[in-house]
Amino acid sequence: MVQRKLKREKEKEKKKENQIKRKEQEEKDRFLQLSDREKRALAAERRILSQSGTVIARCFLCASDITGKVPFEYLGNRFCTTDCLKAHRMRNATVLSC
**Residues 81 and 88 sit within 8 Å (Cβ to Cβ):** no
Tell me the whole-structure pTM to 2 decimals. 0.43
pLDDT in tens, the chain (98 residues): 888 988 999 999 999 999 999 999 998 888 888 888 888 888 888 777 776 555 578 888 888 888 778 888 888 889 999 999 889 888 887 655 55
For residue 67, give the nearest of 80, 83, 48 by alpha carbon. 80
pLDDT for the residue numbered 12: 93
Q: pLDDT value at position 9?
A: 92
pLDDT of residue 52: 58
Residue-level pLDDT at 55: 54
Please work out, in degrees rounded to the nearest 5, the angle formed at the alpha carbon of residue 16 by the alpha carbons of 43 and 34: 25
Domain extents for the chain? 2-91
- Beta strand 72-74 with 77-79 is antiparallel
